[in-house]
Amino acid sequence: MSAPLNPPISQAIRAEARKREIAARRRSGRVALLFIAPALGLVALFLLFPVVFNLGLSFTRWQRFSGLDEFGGLMNYQRLFMVPYFSDVVINTAMWVIGAITLPLAFGLGLALLLRGVPGEGLFKSLFFLPRVLAPAAVGTIWFYVYAPDGVINSLAGAAVGQDIDYGWLFESHTITPAIIMTFVWQTLGINMVLLLLGMAAIPRDPIEAAHVDGASSWQIFRHIVWPLLLPTVFVVTILNVIAGFTAFDLIWVMANGYPAQRSLSLAVYMYYETFSNSRWAFGAAIAVMLSALVILVSWALTVMQSRVEERIR
């Protein structure tokens, strides 16, 4: 009695529409590739290809004047462990990694808790963050003189104890790495603090206020409410810090400029020294591969831990 609301569409029309849709999709995909091409091309040429090439180089015997086409197997990888001052490199790099994981986070967290809600919070934040926008080379230059025998640290310490001090912080093997790490902490605690404050701002107020009403102490509130909810941010910050610790270069290169054993002050500095001062290209490539493996392994482990923590919060 009544005609169907939708007149039957013929098979042919449906096939035609489908064909058109596929064509439009293909065209859209081709245009998309055009948009991606310049970025992809540059990244492939300057980043991706070098990674593969570096891996290949690390298995050759290439050094000054010879060996680019000679296969060396794992020679360069074994060589690193036979370097006489290898243990110094390992100890210094370990100090950097441990220092970078713990100190900027501890100072940043302390400052974040201290500054939260203090009058002029914004100004404090900006001033503590400021060193971050300076170049490590500029920061290292200033701190080189801060640590100098006639520098700021010795003048202040000398005034405190009432006698002249001319200790060479950057010339003694016991103090040079801790001293440079403290400069690193000075430069990075600001960004740690700002990221942690952002994380704290995202924590809901209700459970904190409820705990407060129930008579919980500030420490209990921090320990049982703030810290667990802040953990995802702590992991993000830690990943950034640990990569910076493993790859420490600029500050050491500038502040230990002239220190006799500069090359042993971190794995990244050692790699640079062997490659560009000693022209051991293949060896340098192998050190870079090992450094990359360490960095990727540790940041992967931290990412896994982070996602576990986030699951638990939910």
Partner 1 sequence: MAVDISDPAFIETLKRRERAGQKPSYLRLAIAVVLLIAYLVPFYYLFVTVFKTTDEYLRSSVLDLPTSLAPFWDNVVQAWTLGGMGRASINSMSYAVLGAGLATALAAGAAYGLTRLKLRSANAWFMLIFAGTLFPFQMFLVPLFFGFQRTGLINTWAGMVLVYTAICIPFPLLVLRGSFGAIAREIDEAARIEGASEWRVFASMILPNAKGPLIALFLIQFTFVWNDLLFSSILAGSPEVRSIMVALQALQGTYSSTGPNVVVTASLISSVPTVVLFIFLRRYFMSGLQLGT
Instruction: Scan residues 234-273 and list those touching partner 1 (CB under 8 A).
Output: 236, 243, 246-247, 249-250, 253-254, 257-259, 268, 271-272
Task: Give the span between the Cα atoms of 193 and 124, in whole angstroms.
Answer: 11
When binding is defined by CB under 8 A, the residue of 59, 169, 184, 281 that contacts partner 1 is: 281
How many angstroms separate the Cα of 274 from the Cα of each of 106, 202, 283, 290, 295? 34, 46, 7, 14, 20
Per DSSP, helices labelled H in the chain are 11-43, 49-57, 75-82, 86-115, 121-129, 136-146, 152-161, 176-201, 205-213, 218-221, 227-246, 250-255, 267-272, 281-313
Residue matched to tokens 């001033």 = 127
Q: How far is the CB of 147 from partner 1 (least distance, A)?
A: 10
Of the candidates 175, 173, 183, which has an alpha carbon nearest to the alpha carbon of residue 143? Answer: 183
Query: Residue 193: what residue type?
Result: M
When binding is defined by CB under 8 A, the residue of 100, 112, 194, 252 that contacts partner 1 is: 194
- Would you count residue 175 as binding partner 1 (CB under 8 A)? no
Closer to partner 1 by Cβ: residue 3 or 30: 30
Give, to the nearest 10 degrees, the angle between helix 136-146 and helix 176-201. 130
- Would you count residue 141 as binding partner 1 (CB under 8 A)? yes
Q: Which helix (H) or strand (E) holds 225?
A: none
Span of 72-80, 143-151, 174-182, 223-231 interacting with partner 1 by CB under 8 A: 143-151
Residue matched to tokens 């790495």 = 177
Query: Residue 47: what residue type?
Result: L
When binding is defined by CB under 8 A, the residue of 127, 157, 297, 304 that contacts partner 1 is: 127
Task: Give the span between the Cα atoms of 10 and 18, in whole angstroms.
Answer: 13
Span of 12-20, 75-83, 116-124, 174-182 interacting with partner 1 by CB under 8 A: 116-124
- Site for partner 1, residues 10 to 69, rule: CB under 8 A: 24-25, 28-29, 31-36, 38-40, 42-51, 53-54, 57
Span of 75-83, 91-99, 127-135, 303-311 interacting with partner 1 by CB under 8 A: 127-135
- Would you count residue 213 as binding partner 1 (CB under 8 A)? yes
Please give the backbone phi and psi of residue 84, each rounded to the nearest 5 degrees, phi first: -55, -40
Query: CA 295: distance to chain centroid?
Result: 9
Span of 73-81, 94-102, 186-194, 223-231 interacting with partner 1 by CB under 8 A: 186-194
- Would you count residue 117 as binding partner 1 (CB under 8 A)? yes
Span of 1-9, 90-98, 120-128, 172-180 interacting with partner 1 by CB under 8 A: 120-128
- Would you count residue 196 as binding partner 1 (CB under 8 A)? no
Q: How far is the CB of 121 from partner 1 (least distance, A)?
A: 9
When binding is defined by CB under 8 A, the residue of 8, 84, 119, 162 that contacts partner 1 is: 119
Closer to partner 1 by Cβ: residue 99 or 140: 140
- Would you count residue 136 as binding partner 1 (CB under 8 A)? yes
Q: How far is the CB of 251 from partner 1 (least distance, A)?
A: 10
Residues linked to residue 71 through DSSP beta bridges, in sequence order: 60
